[in-house]
């Protein structure tokens, strides 16, 4: 029996004004009024990222088939369910690409979504019931996880307090400072279930054991779990979604002509069969709605103690998977992925601006000039493509990752990493030889060198003077470096935010160098003020007397020379 249709039931939480008021809406209301909403307001940023990609999958599907006026592209064959039935013919590919870009530009100029989005949703309404005997949303049926198909007598089960990442409590360890307590931890309302179900398919880890069949395969811990997630945002949700709606992949054009294949357009059994036989995904709607688990919510337990049955699905290909636009990339110079790119996760306590080079530029890969060691995220490439349409729109670059427990046998989600870079779009699209991208990259590189080489040398000297050994020495150096980065973090962000396209680049660079110099000197002087007698007595190293004063003077020599 069908229950709780996501088109009409309110489950998407959105911010409605700058006072922070929120409301919950269904899919049809969301797409009708997206231009009136400021941002998603789910339970946590990683959940919002997962939900946003689900919403983008709808838009990618619709606008790969229909233009901004709601008319089907003439080069496509569309069936009565608004579904594309054949790939774009080779002779029509150039015209199709032009049509996609024209559609994006028209959508941006219109300022709100056309009726075709909700018309498409209505055509597929039967696939958006949270509970359904044939097509439960983001789930399989009992037939797919029958004991005859899996490696155990029954599917694995997880409870509400595990699914709810605000609690993340297992049966073995009680979560402290939980937003829910007692039996309330075991309950989720339907709107919460929907949001956390999408999140579960995106971030889950590998602590559950049940898989399909008897042959081993590399299980997915959720595609988003491995990403250094990036997305663009503006002052309303309509603009935010459009900024991330990469209708045209300029660097990998072959993806543009594949049929968008979101999960709801497929039978659950077909999704499972495909995941078990192939690790490849060739269209962005399928990637954005990829499942990490064959899941089934136990409807009978929802009103009592929530349970969801899960069975592991195989991972999808990570190496050189440039279909994915929303991640940083790492070039692997060694190991099993040598010579290939894989997604690079964000690191806790490392501000996003420190990865500015990874976000904005490409360089030759060391000695191998035939490959690039830096690959620009697809979403930033897309920003370069649409720059001429958005008229200096104020853009925020958002970073989101899920931290894990470091245990390769479980990869339990432990914390989320969230950051923003509030800049004018020209700071990532001005790619001229002496443009802002190059200049800021140079500033970031010099800032990191001064801290991680010159200031680190100062900290290392003090550690040696104090007689610290091995782990104590390493901890002292790393904490000193991170404290220095913490001290300069807000000043650097303020400097970035205050940059105007017409500013003199040399003057702006000098302003930051002077600020950086003052901050480093101030922190060094604070350490000097806290010095003990042993720091001043010092040590003899290589027949040379070394104490905190000589270390300070050496730092000042380098700082005055380089800044």
Is 227 a member of any domain? Answer: yes
Residue 175 confidence (pLDDT) above 60: no
Give me the pLDDT at residue 269, please: 95
Going by C-alpha positions, the residue among 72, 100, 103 that lies closest to residue 86 is 72
Closest C-alpha to 138, from 310, 18, 338: 310
Q: Is residue 76 part of a domain?
A: yes
Residues 6+ apart with CB under 8 A from 61: 120, 260, 262, 265, 285
Q: What is the mean pLDDT of residues 321-330?
A: 95
Query: Quick check: 367 pLDDT over 50?
Result: no
Decide: helix, strand or coil at residue 247.
coil
What percent of the chain clears pLDDT 90, i.e. is strictly above it?
Answer: 68
Q: Is residue 354 part of a domain?
A: no
Instruction: Residue 28: name the closest of 123, 100, 107, 105 by CA.
Output: 123
Q: In this structure, are 54 and 191 located in the same domain? A: yes
pLDDT at 365 over 80: no
Residue pLDDT, tens place only, 255-302: 999 999 999 999 999 999 999 999 899 999 999 999 999 999 987 766
Is residue 146 one of the residues assigned to a domain? yes
Distance CA 68, CA 166 (A): 39
- Give the pLDDT mean for 387-414: 87
Distances in Å between the alpha carbon of 354 and those of 20, 222, 328? Answer: 30, 26, 13
CB environment 41-64: b (16+ within 10 A), e (fewer): bbbbbbbbbbbbbbbbbbbbbbbb
* Those residues with Cβ within 8 angstroms of residue 405's Cβ, 6 or more apart along the chain or in another chain: 411, 412, 414
Tell me: the pLDDT tens digits for 186-215? 778 899 999 999 999 999 989 899 999 988
Residue that terminates a domain, selected from 260, 285, 312: 312
* Any domain includes 32: yes
Sorting pLDDT into bands at 50, 70 and 90, what band is 471? confident
Q: Give me the CATH number covering residue 469.
A: 1.10.132.100
Claim to verify: residue 196 and residue 58 sit in the same structural domain: yes
Domain of residue 547 covers: 436-562
Using alpha carbons only, give the angle 524, 527, 529 rounded to the nearest 5 degrees.
110
| pLDDT of the residue at 348 | 83
For residue 172, what pLDDT band results from cuts at 50, 70 and 90?
Answer: low
Residue 223 lies in a domain: yes
Residues 302 and 442 grouped into a single domain: no
pLDDT at 159: 78
At 270 the three-state DSSP class reads: helix
Would the pLDDT of 377 be above 60?
yes
The Cα–Cα gap between 365 and 151 comes to 44
From 250, 280, 312, give the residue that closes a domain. 312
Give the highest mean pLDDT range of 6-10, 172-176, 356-360, 401-405: 6-10
Per-residue pLDDT averaged across 47-64, rounded? 98
Share of the chain above pLDDT 70, in %: 93
Query: So what's the pLDDT on residue 173?
Result: 56
Residue 425 has pLDDT above 80, yes or no: no
Determine contact, residues 386/403, Cβ cutoff 8 Å.
no
Which band of pLDDT confidence, cut at 50, 70 and 90, is reported for residue 343?
very high
Q: Measure the CA–CA gap between 492 and 486, rounded to whole angstroms.
A: 10
Helix (H, G, I), strand (E, B) or coil at 447: helix
Q: What is the pLDDT of residue 396?
A: 92
39: enclosing H helix or E strand:
strand 39-40
Predicted pLDDT at 406: 82
What is the predicted pLDDT for the residue at 364?
38
pLDDT in tens, 500-542: 888 999 999 999 999 999 999 999 999 999 988 888 988 888 8
87-119: per-residue pLDDT in tens?
999 999 999 999 999 999 999 999 999 999 999
- pLDDT above 70: residue 166: no
Name the domain boundary from 288, 312, 336. Answer: 312
At 317 the pLDDT is 94
Residue 435 has pLDDT above 90, yes or no: no
Instruction: Quote the number of domains for the chain.
Output: 2
Q: In terms of domains, do 40 and 189 share one?
A: yes
Lowest-confidence range among 136-150, 340-354, 513-527?
340-354
Which pLDDT score is estimated for 167?
59
- Establish if 406 belongs to a structural domain: no
Q: How many whole angstroms separate alpha carbon 413 and alpha carbon 61? A: 30
320 dihedral zone (left: phi>0; alpha: psi -120 to 50; beta): left
DSSP 8-state assignment for residue 89: P
pLDDT at position 301: 67
Mean pLDDT is lowest, of 5-14, 62-71, 295-304, for: 295-304
Mean pLDDT across the chain, nearest whole number? 90
């Amino acid at each position: 029996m069908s229950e709780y249709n996501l088109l009409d039931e309110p489950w998407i939480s959105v911010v409605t004004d700058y006072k922070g008021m929120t409301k919950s809406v269904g899919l049809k209301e969301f797409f009708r009024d997206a231009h009136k909403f400021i941002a998603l307001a789910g339970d946590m940023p990683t959940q919002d990222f997962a939900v946003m990609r689900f919403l983008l999958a709808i838009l990618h599907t619709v606008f790969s088939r229909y233009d901004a006026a709601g008319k089907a592209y003439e080069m496509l064959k569309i069936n009565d369910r608004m579904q594309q039935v054949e790939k774009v013919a080779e002779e029509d590919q150039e015209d199709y690409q032009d049509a996609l870009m024209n559609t994006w530009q028209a959508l941006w100029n219109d300022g709100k979504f056309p009726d075709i989005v909700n018309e498409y949703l209505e055509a597929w309404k039967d696939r958006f019931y949270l509970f359904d005997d044939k097509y439960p949303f983001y789930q399989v049926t009992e037939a797919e996880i029958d004991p005859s198909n899996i490696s155990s007598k029954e599917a694995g089960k997880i409870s509400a307090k595990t699914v709810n990442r605000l609690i993340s409590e297992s049966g073995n360890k009680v979560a402290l400072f939980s937003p829910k307590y007692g039996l309330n931890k075991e309950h989720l309302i339907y709107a919460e279930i929907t949001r956390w179900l999408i999140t579960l398919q995106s971030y889950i880890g590998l602590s559950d054991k049940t898989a399909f069949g008897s042959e081993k395969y590399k299980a997915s811990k959720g595609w988003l779990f491995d990403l250094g997630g990036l997305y663009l945002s503006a002052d309303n949700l309509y603009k935010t979604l459009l900024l991330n709606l990469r209708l045209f992949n300029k660097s990998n054009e072959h993806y543009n002509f594949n049929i968008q294949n979101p999960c709801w357009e497929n039978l659950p059994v077909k999704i499972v069969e495909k995941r078990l036989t192939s690790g490849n995904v060739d269209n962005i709607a399928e990637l954005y709605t990829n499942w990490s688990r064959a899941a089934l919510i136990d409807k009978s337990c929802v009103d009592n103690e929530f349970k969801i049955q899960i069975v592991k699905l195989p991972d999808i290909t990570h190496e050189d998977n440039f279909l994915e636009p929303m991640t940083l990339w790492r070039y692997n110079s060694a190991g099993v992925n040598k010579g290939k790119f894989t997604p690079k996760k964000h690191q806790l306590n490392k501000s996003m601006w420190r990865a500015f080079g990874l976000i904005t530029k490409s360089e030759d890969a060391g000695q191998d000039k035939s490959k690039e060691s830096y690959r620009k995220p697809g979403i930033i490439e897309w920003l370069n493509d649409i720059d001429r349409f958005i008229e200096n729109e104020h853009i925020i670059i958002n970073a989101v990752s899920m931290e894990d427990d470091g245990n390769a046998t479980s990869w339990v989600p432990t914390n989320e990493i969230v950051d923003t870079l509030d800049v004018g779009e020209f700071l990532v699209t001005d790619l001229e030889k002496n443009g802002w991208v190059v200049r800021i990259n140079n500033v970031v590189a010099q800032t990191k060198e001064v801290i991680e080489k010159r200031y680190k040398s100062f900290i290392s000297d003090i550690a040696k003077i104090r007689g610290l050994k091995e782990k104590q020495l390493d901890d002292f150096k790393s904490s000193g470096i991170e404290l220095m980065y913490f001290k300069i973090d807000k000043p650097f962000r303020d400097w970035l935010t205050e940059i105007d396209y017409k500013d003199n680049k040399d003057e702006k660079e000098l302003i930051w160098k002077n600020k950086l110099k003052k901050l480093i000197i101030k922190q060094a002087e604070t350490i000097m003020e806290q010095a003990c007698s042993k720091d001043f007595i010092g040590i003899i190293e290589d027949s040379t007397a070394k104490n905190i004063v000589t270390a300070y003077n050496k730092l000042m020599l380098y700082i005055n020379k380089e800044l």
